[in-house]
């Protein structure tokens, strides 16, 4: 199993180094063509995201393959080898299989259990497949990795709880309202965090998005991006009654919504519940608002408590996921080993069966005319002898092949016996 991986990630390299080895999508075809043109690289794919760049390859010579991929990363990006070398890691054989499964299942991600990495790995495989850079070695591996990732998501709760501030806001919203379908969200401020929260809420069924900002043009621009409605600065309270959920992130130096504003809002809404998420620093919303009936206020610390609790849950689920990884790695390795040695075992059986048939024919000539029953008995007896003689060698071949030097031992056995596959 001549698999290797060379790469770096958020665990081994700071962002300024990761940026240097990042592959823009437009350059990936040239990069893959460059890789598989190398004599010792038969197949390859490249995973390149903001948090990792990894080259997965199949090579008959692992050490040479790792050396070539390292040189490729240096040359392709114009980065001196000594600059990037200390940030790179490499995996081979079974360790490479395990790493691919863990990456696809988001067990190696910065945010444990996040779903984006699986799509990114699938895109990397799709491109490599379209360009003919993967074949009989990497294709089965990647398809198995996708199966493992799907199994982990269905059999564990590793992706069931929010571990980002923006998504925690969504989770809390769903607890306040049984469903987000048909709900209206009002953004107070157009900061990045409120934008992310709005995107998550919209993906969960929120039907209307209102955007208010002290700089009206910023509200207009963001409304175009999010397909929302911009609210002029002076018209906030004309529209606030429409909002079931308020996300506050104005960047103002002081409080924007006071308790009296909260009382006004709940009166305009005729006591219909309103959920306020204050993710500003300093806070936009007076904490006293939370004392008003049917107003549910959460600030960034409240959201962090949700995130911390959920992260502990994900870490616990990750232990179950690692068990699945171990099981699937062993299953895949056994399958590959079985495929690798099948031609050798077939050749060995064929070799000894030819000898059996030759000796059986000699014996039949010496014995003279035999009855049908006698010929069948001789045939069965000689086949049984060969089967018993080969049981030990075949078991040893299967056992030896699972060791790190298994391939070399198998080649030696084939040469000793003069086997041709």
Active site residues: 50
DSSP annotation of 136 reads T
Give yes or no for a contact between 8 and 17, defined as CB atoms under 8 angstroms apart.
yes
Give yes or no for a contact between 14 and 59, defined as CB atoms under 8 angstroms apart.
no
Rounded CA gap, 231 and 258, in Å?
20
Give yes or no for a contact between 315 and 112, defined as CB atoms under 8 angstroms apart.
yes
Nearest one of 214, 29, 1 to 100, comparing CA atoms: 1
Give strand pairing partners of 6: 55, 90
Torsion angles phi and psi, residue 110, rounded to 5: -60, -45
Can you spell out the DSSP letters for 34-93? HHHTSTT--EEEEEE-SSEEEEEEE-SSHHHHHHHHHHHHHHHHT--HHHHGGG-EEEEH
Give yes or no for a contact between 295 and 289, defined as CB atoms under 8 angstroms apart.
yes
Nearest one of 342, 328, 324, 363 to 153, comparing CA atoms: 324
Q: 143-168 in b/e burial notation, b at 16+ Cβ within 10 A? A: ebbbebbebbbeebebbebbbbbbbb
Rounded CA gap, 4 and 218, in Å?
48
Sequence-separated (6 or more) residues with CB below 8 Å from residue 165: 193, 197, 279, 300, 303, 304, 307
The CB density around residue 351, as the number of other CB atoms within 10 Å, is 15
Rounded CA gap, 292 and 59, in Å?
67
Give every strand in the sheet of 89-92, ordered side by side. Answer: 43-48, 52-58, 3-9, 89-92
**CA dist 341 → 151, 329, 346, 401 (Å):** 29, 18, 9, 8
């Amino acid at each position: 199993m001549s698999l290797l991986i060379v790469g770096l990630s958020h665990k081994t390299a700071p962002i300024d180094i990761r940026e240097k080895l990042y592959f823009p999508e437009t350059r990936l075809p040239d990069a893959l063509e460059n890789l598989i043109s190398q004599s010792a690289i038969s197949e390859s794919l490249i995973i390149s995201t903001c948090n990792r760049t990894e080259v997965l390859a199949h090579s008959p010579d692992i050490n040479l393959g790792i050396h070539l991929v390292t040189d490729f990363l240096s040359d392709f990006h114009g980065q001196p080898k000594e600059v990037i070398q200390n940030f790179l890691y490499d995996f081979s054989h079974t360790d490479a299989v395990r790493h691919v499964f863990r990456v696809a299942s988001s067990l190696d991600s910065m945010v444990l259990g996040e779903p984006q990495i699986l799509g990114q790995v699938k895109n990397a495989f799709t491109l490599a497949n379209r360009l003919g850079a993967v074949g009989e070695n990497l294709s089965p591996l990647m398809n198995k990795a996708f199966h493992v990732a799907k199994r982990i998501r269905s059999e564990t709760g590793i992706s069931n709880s929010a571990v980002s501030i923006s998504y925690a806001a969504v989770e809390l919203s769903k607890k306040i309202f049984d469903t987000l379908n048909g709900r209206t969200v009002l953004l107070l401020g157009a900061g990045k965090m409120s934008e992310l929260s709005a995107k998550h809420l919209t993906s969960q069924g929120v039907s209307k998005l209102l955007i208010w900002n002290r700089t009206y043009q910023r509200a207009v621009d963001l409304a175009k991006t999010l397909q929302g409605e911009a609210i002029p600065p002076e018209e906030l309270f004309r529209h606030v009654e429409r909002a079931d959920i308020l996300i506050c992130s104005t960047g103002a130096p002081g409080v924007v919504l006071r308790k009296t504003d909260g009382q006004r809002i709940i009166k305009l809404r005729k006591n219909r519940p309103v959920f306020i998420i204050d993710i500003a620093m300093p806070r936009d919303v007076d904490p006293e608002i939370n004392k008003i009936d049917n107003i549910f206020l959460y600030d960034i610390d409240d959201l962090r408590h949700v995130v911390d609790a959920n992260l502990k849950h994900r870490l616990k689920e990750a232990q179950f996921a690692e068990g699945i990884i171990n099981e699937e790695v062993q299953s895949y390795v056994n399958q590959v080993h079985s495929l690798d040695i099948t031609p050798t075992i077939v050749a060995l059986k064929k070799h000894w069966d030819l000898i059996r048939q030759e000796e059986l024919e000699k014996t039949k000539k010496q014995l003279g005319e035999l009855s049908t029953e006698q010929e069948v008995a001789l045939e069965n007896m000689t086949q049984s002898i060969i089967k018993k003689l080969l049981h030990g060698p075949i078991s040893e071949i299967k056992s030896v092949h699972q060791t790190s030097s298994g391939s070399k031992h198998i080649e030696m056995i084939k040469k000793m016996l003069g086997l041709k596959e």
